[in-house]
């Protein structure tokens, strides 16, 4: 029996990780995993439970005891809390502001790593985030790192109606002690400044197919 394949798509904020990961997953018929949504869910739950997101011990304690479950719905993995997926709630400005604080806590990242690795039970994955190829599935042979110029990424955020200091976010993600943002060893780096999502995803898919064709006798096929 073949071991499920994991395609890791990491990158900076507004580099197109989510959009391209969804396209790649849909094209290949793989399961899509948005790890950022999991951190958002914890941040939202902290706010809901009135836990100070700057209190690392309190957040870590909440992360240990909250009742969660992984499910796969319409080709996408979701993290349920008390049987509910707070789809809209985790996208509010208040939740977004809390996410970087929660995500920087080492014990939170350790919990997330354990849970995110469990997603493999759903089958072949396209998993996007900031530490997939370096921390969650460093063993995968399919690693991609997306980036774009700061001006391009800022323009994308503004077009989505989101105000965010991306330079500050980049620095914070890269300097955190636990699983910092970095280019995974052996990753294919794609700077998609001036590229459309279709062009970016096409490059990713072409590279995946090229590699799979090279190991057709020993790996899964498309």
Q: Is the pLDDT of residue 222 over 50?
A: no
For residue 44, what are the domain limits? 35-121
Report the DSSP beta bridge partners of residue 72: 77
Q: Do residue 25 and residue 78 come from a single domain?
A: no
Q: Do residue 135 and residue 198 come from a single domain?
A: yes
Q: How confident is the model at residue 158 (pLDDT cuts 50, 70, 90)?
A: confident
Number of structural domains, the chain? 2
Q: Residue 203 falls within a domain, yes or no?
A: yes
**Per-residue pLDDT at 218:** 53
Q: Do residue 46 and residue 97 come from a single domain?
A: yes
Q: Residue 220 falls within a domain, yes or no?
A: no
Domain stop point among 121, 139, 159: 121
Q: Do residue 26 and residue 127 come from a single domain?
A: yes
Domain containing residue 51: CATH number:
3.40.50.300
Q: Do residue 53 and residue 158 come from a single domain?
A: no
Q: Is the pLDDT of residue 13 over 50?
A: yes
Cα separation, 19 vs 90, whole angstroms: 18
> Dmax of the chain from CA atoms?
54
Average pLDDT of the chain is 92
Q: Is the pLDDT of residue 7 over 90?
A: yes
Supply φ then ψ for residue 120, to 5 degrees.
Answer: -60, -20
Query: Mean pLDDT over residues 158-178, rounded?
Result: 79
Q: Residue 98 falls within a domain, yes or no?
A: yes
- DSSP character string of 81-130: ETTB--TTGGGSHHHHHHHHHHHT-HHHHHHHHHHHHGGGGGSSEEEEES
Supply φ then ψ for residue 14, to 5 degrees.
Answer: 65, 25
Domain stop point among 98, 121, 144: 121
In the chain, which ranges are E strands?
Answer: 6-11, 31-34, 68-73, 76-81, 125-129, 142-147, 188-191
Q: How confident is the model at residue 161 (pLDDT cuts 50, 70, 90)?
A: confident
Q: Residue 113 falls within a domain, yes or no?
A: yes
**Per-residue pLDDT at 2:** 79
Query: Mean pLDDT over residues 60-77, rounded?
Result: 97
**Per-residue pLDDT at 217:** 52
Q: Is the pLDDT of residue 157 over 90?
A: no
Q: Do residue 72 and residue 82 come from a single domain?
A: yes
Q: Residue 133 falls within a domain, yes or no?
A: yes
Q: Residue 222 falls within a domain, yes or no?
A: no
Say which residues have a Cβ less than 8 Å from residue 103's Cβ, sequence separation at least 6. 39, 43, 109, 176
Q: 171-220 pLDDT, tens per residue?
A: 877 877 788 889 999 999 999 999 999 999 999 999 999 999 876 655 44
Q: Do residue 69 and residue 177 come from a single domain?
A: no
Higher pLDDT, residue 51 or 216: 51
Q: Do residue 82 and residue 136 come from a single domain?
A: no
Domain stop point among 121, 152, 182: 121
What is the DSSP secondary structure assignment for residue 12, as one 8-state letter? S
Q: Do residue 80 and residue 136 come from a single domain?
A: no
Q: Do residue 114 and residue 134 come from a single domain?
A: no
Q: Do residue 104 and residue 167 come from a single domain?
A: no
Q: 76-131 pLDDT, tens per residue?
A: 999 999 999 999 999 998 998 899 999 999 999 999 999 999 999 999 999 999 99
Q: Is the pLDDT of residue 38 over 70?
A: yes
Q: Do residue 47 and residue 22 come from a single domain?
A: no
**Per-residue pLDDT at 221:** 47
Q: Residue 93 falls within a domain, yes or no?
A: yes
Q: Is the pLDDT of residue 143 over 90?
A: yes
Q: Residue 221 falls within a domain, yes or no?
A: no
C-alpha separations of 150 from 15, 156, 170 in Å: 9, 10, 10
């Amino acid at each position: 029996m073949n071991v499920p394949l994991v395609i890791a798509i990491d990158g900076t904020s507004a580099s197109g990780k989510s959009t391209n990961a969804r396209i790649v997953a849909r094209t290949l018929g793989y399961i899509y995993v948005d790890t950022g949504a999991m951190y958002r869910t914890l941040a939202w739950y902290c706010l809901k439970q009135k836990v100070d997101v700057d209190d690392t011990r309190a957040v870590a304690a909440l992360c240990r005891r909250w009742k969660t479950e992984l499910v796969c719905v319409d080709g996408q993995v979701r993290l349920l809390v008390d049987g509910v997926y707070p789809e809209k709630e985790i996208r509010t400005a208040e939740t977004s502001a809390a996410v970087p604080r929660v995500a920087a806590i080492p014990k939170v990242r350790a919990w997330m790593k354990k849970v995110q690795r469990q997603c493999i039970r759903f089958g072949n994955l396209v998993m996007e985030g900031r530490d997939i190829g370096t921390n969650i599935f460093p063993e995968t042979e399919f690693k991609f790192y997306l980036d774009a110029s700061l001006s391009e990424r800022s323009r994308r955020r503004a077009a989505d109606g989101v105000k965010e200091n991306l330079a500050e976010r980049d620095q914070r993600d890269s300097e955190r002690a636990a699983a910092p943002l970095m280019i995974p060893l052996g990753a294919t780096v794609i700077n998609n400044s001036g590229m459309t999502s279709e062009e970016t995803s096409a490059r990713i898919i072409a590279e995946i197919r090229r590699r799979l064709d090279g190991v057709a006798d020993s790996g899964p096929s498309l």
